[in-house]
Structure 1
Amino acid sequence: MMHSTDVLVVGGGGTGTGIARDLAMRGVDVTLVDRGGLGIGTTGRSHGLLHSGARYAEADEAGARECIVENEILREIAGACIRDTGGYFIRLEDDDPDYFEEKYEACLDYEIPAERIPVEQAREAVPDLADDVAEVMEVPDGVIYPSRLVAATAADAREHGATILPDAPVTDLLKDDERVIGAAVDHDVGKIHADHVVNATGAWAGQLGDMAGVDVEMKPTRGVMICQEYEGLGTVLNRARDPDDGDIVIPHADEVILGTTSVEVDDPDEYEEADWEVERTIEECAAIFPPAADAPETRTYWGVRPLYAPEEAETGGARGISRGFFVLDHDERDGVGGFTSVVGGKLTTHRMMAEAAADAIAERLGVDEPCRTADEQLYAHDDPATLDALVEEFDIDGPADADVVGRAQ
């Protein structure tokens, strides 16, 4: 069986569903496929931090500026997919005060709202902070519920005419000479012919690139998240030091998520889940939030970051690889037409990534309609019960917000 579409998006995480929504809103006929339920790769296995940009401010100006812009947009369009918690960056007595100062000044330079607050004020909000807290900076971090976000974005794409096909794995890409013209899709879908194919498969982008005969140089890294019982934390906690293992604590309703490590993996489907990562993450998070040392664990999961690392871009170790995103036009880059890859990035910037990709593809297709995704709210954004029903419909089973989804009254 042969289906036809203007654009075939492969990958149903935050970026892939965002591209489908963006293009559909411009009047493009879009089909999205994913090999399993939507959002169960990197997106659904993230720590769910809505970045303010402060984490990157002293080292990555572009990334910091992107995060604060998208942070504000998501708060406007995503409703119950977001929890507005605010965040603290916490310097312990043994941490470098110059690093804290550099981060604070960079936040001000990049228009990230940041305020030094008295330690006792922070301790009133979070009574279980460590005893040796030396300085605290407040920033507009928040929490993303990835399953709801993907469900709302996919449903919005569908409302604008897109076809969304979970559980539709691509087995091969179809080519005509040096052009990708579609994909062979399993589970009784058949062949899908497309004027343009988008590789939005995240950490798996190199594998889909291989099917097209192009080299997408991914360097995925795994990171562990530990969910613990703890009721009452209302603020994201970040350690104010060079990014390292175990420096983020994310609040949920009656749980916290501790994260994370960064270890290179060869295969994003097959990798070790090492006990030392769990132990180190708990130990390091407990340095700023002592209850983490012995709070009961509810679930532990690993996610794989879709880091793009061509040889010339590597800067020394997995944590040195840029968290920025890249839109790769394989016609210009490799002489393979009809194929674009979107790689790198963060969940916070998924909409911006989708806009950049959609702009490039629309230009290729001769579509003049502008992007509207920053200005229109997501489908059912303010209706948690409907969002959770959509999570079930799209077979989204990510562990990042398993304690939240399905609890809407």
Structure 2
Amino acid sequence: MSADPTVLVIGGGATGTGIARDLALRGVDVTLVERGGLGSGTSGRSHGLLHSGARYAESDASGAAECLAESRTLREIAGACVRETGGLFVRLEGDDAAYFETKLAACEETGIETERLDGDAARDLVDGLSDAVVEAFRVPDGVVYPSRLVAANAADAAAHGADVHPHAPVEAIETGADGITAVDVGGSVDEHIEPTHVVNATGAWADRIAEMAGCTVGMAPSRGVMVSLEYDGLGPVLNRCRDPDDGDIVLPHEGEVVVGTTSVPVSTPETYETAEWEIERSIEECAAMLPAVAEAPERRTWWGVRPLYEPDEAAADRRGISRGFTILDHGDEGVSNLHSVVGGKLTTYREMAEVTADRVCERLGVAEPCRTAEEPLVGADDPSRLDALVEQYGGPNPTDAGVVGTDGG
């Protein structure tokens, strides 16, 4: 690897690999390092929803529009990294009818395609749907296989000249009068490197990297459980149409469904307690939509930590924190060659990467435009090749472990 890359990207999730790909396509000399296998942080421990934007339509119209646009882009460039399933928002007996109307109207105003259904029509669409469903509407949700998505971005970055290194933790950052002067990287790299610019794309771990450089971020991480259950035949994603709460989403995978999730504040994304009630509640609440999951055998359970950014109200109800993204320029803290990108969603990773790369290129004087929305990802239409790339970069993560490498998807 180059001892002095122009840009060092720290963090090998979807956003970090997306940034590395974007910069490499613009001709920038970039190195990416990740302390574990690629996607082993937040990206690969999600529920895997490809957002249509409907979940945020009434609370964050601009964020919903971003999800809609980016989900369409991913369907064009990401091939077998995503799967078209459609989605259904369902209202059960006792759920607020006014909320249903508000959500539906907000989706239509945002431009999200919808189709209203009564309870019987919804049950005709979804075998096993609860008799308690009184009405529903369809939206263009889908499923993301994050291990494939991250690996494809990394391979595309490498194909355009980037150095990509999983299992390469940052151990120390040195700063001087002009900002970061050197970064010590251990593991598979084990070198003292001197980048011109650094991007902190470590998600929920962004505080830790920023503190190494004498900077602050202000993350408010929140854990959530996901449970994979044996269940075959679910078509669309099921969303409970109510104020966000525990256990309000069921995602179809190959021969299984993923149910979740909870939202519990944690002080650190590295070590935190988990609780059995989170599993039980998620299954119970999702069974209100799809009763058979209550007795379905568990395949695996995992927790993920949301990279929520809320510097002023770290103790706030974290369900209410924006899922939008923020790019921090640490120049006002005396570190002019460091940007941190925080918040956001898996669906909008490419846009996050584009905006971050724009900022970095402006600082570096690089005029090349972004090309990531038009050019397909490496291996996108070849599931076997994608799965080989996943193995190369660290193996599948919990979200899609039941699909990647099994000829599924």
**Shift in Å, 1:2:** 7.7
- State the alpha-carbon separation in 1 of the partners of residues 357 and 395 from structure 2: 24
SS of corresponding position for 2:288? helix
Alignment match, 1:51:
51
Unmatched runs of 5 consecutive residues or more in structure 2: none
Per the alignment, residue 362 of structure 2 pairs with: 363
* CA contact 1:224–1:259 (8 Å) conserved in 2: yes
Deviation of the 1:218 alpha carbon? 0.3
Q: Match of 1:88? A: 88
Match of 2:249 in 1: 248
Q: Percent identity?
A: 60
Runs of 4+ in 1 over 6 A off after TM superposition: none
**2:377 corresponding residue in structure 1:** 378
| Distance (whole Å) between structure 2 residues aligned to residue 280 and residue 349 of structure 1 | 29
**TM-score normalised by L of structure 1:** 0.97
Partner of 2:196: helix, strand, or coil? strand
Per the TM alignment, residue 260 of structure 1 is displaced from its structure 2 partner at its CA by 0.3
Distance 1:299 1:111 in 2: 36
CA deviations 1:315-352 (Å, max 9, x no partner) are 94010111100010111x42311100000000000000
Distance 1:41 1:306 in 2: 10
CA distance in 2, matches of 1:388, 1:2: 28
Q: Is the 1:315–1:321 Cα contact (8 Å) retained in structure 2? A: no
**What number of residue pairs does the alignment pair up?**
407
For 2:80 and 2:164, the matched residues in 1 are separated by 22
Q: Distance in 1 between matches of 2:309 and 2:83?
A: 29
| Partner deviation per Cα, 1:44-102 (whole Å, 9 max, x = no partner) | 00000000000000111111011000010000000000010000000011000111111
Aligned ranges 1:5-404 → 2 under 5 Å: 5-187=5-187, 188-311=189-312, 316-331=316-331, 333-404=332-403
TM-score (norm 2): 0.97
8 Å CA contact 2:3–2:194 kept in 1: the answer is yes
Segments of 5+ residues of structure 1 without an aligned counterpart are none
Aligned partner of residue 353 in structure 1, secondary structure: helix
Q: Within 2, Cα distance between the matches of 1:283 and 1:380?
A: 39
**CA–CA distance in structure 2, aligned partners of residues 68 and 220 of structure 1:** 25
| Letter of the structure 1 residue corresponding to residue 129 of structure 2 | L
Mean Cα deviation higher: 176-185 or 253-262: 176-185
Task: In structure 2, give the amino acid aligned to 1:209.
Answer: A
Displacement, 1:216?
0.7
Measure, in 1, the Cα distance between the counterparts of 2:49 and 2:352. 17
Judge conservation of contact 1:39–1:396 (CA < 8 Å) in 2: no
Determine if contact 1:220/1:266 at 8 Å carries over to the other structure: yes
CA distance in 2, matches of 1:354, 1:396: 23
Question: Residue type of the partner of 1:52?
Answer: S
Query: 2:199, 2:341 within 8 Å by CA — same for their partners in 1?
Result: yes
What per-residue deviation string (whole Å, max 9, x for no partner) do you get for residues 114-133 of structure 1?
12123222212212111111
Q: Is contact 1:90-1:137 (8 Å) kept?
A: yes
Residue 249 of structure 1 contacts residue 257 of structure 1 at CA under 8 Å; is this kept in 2? yes
Give the secondary structure class of the aligned counterpart of 2:220.
coil
**Letter of the 1:113 counterpart:** E
Amino acid aligned to 1:386: R
In structure 1, the residue corresponding to 2:174 is in which secondary structure? strand
Maintained 8 Å contact 2:220/2:315:
no
Q: Is the 8 A contact 2:326 2:342 kept in 1?
A: yes
| Corresponding residue SS for 2:64 | helix
Q: Distance in 2 between matches of 1:338 and 1:243?
A: 38
What CA distance in whole angstroms lies between the structure 1 residues aligned with 2:36 and 2:311?
A: 28
| Aligned equivalents of 1:316, 1:107: Cα separation in 2 | 27
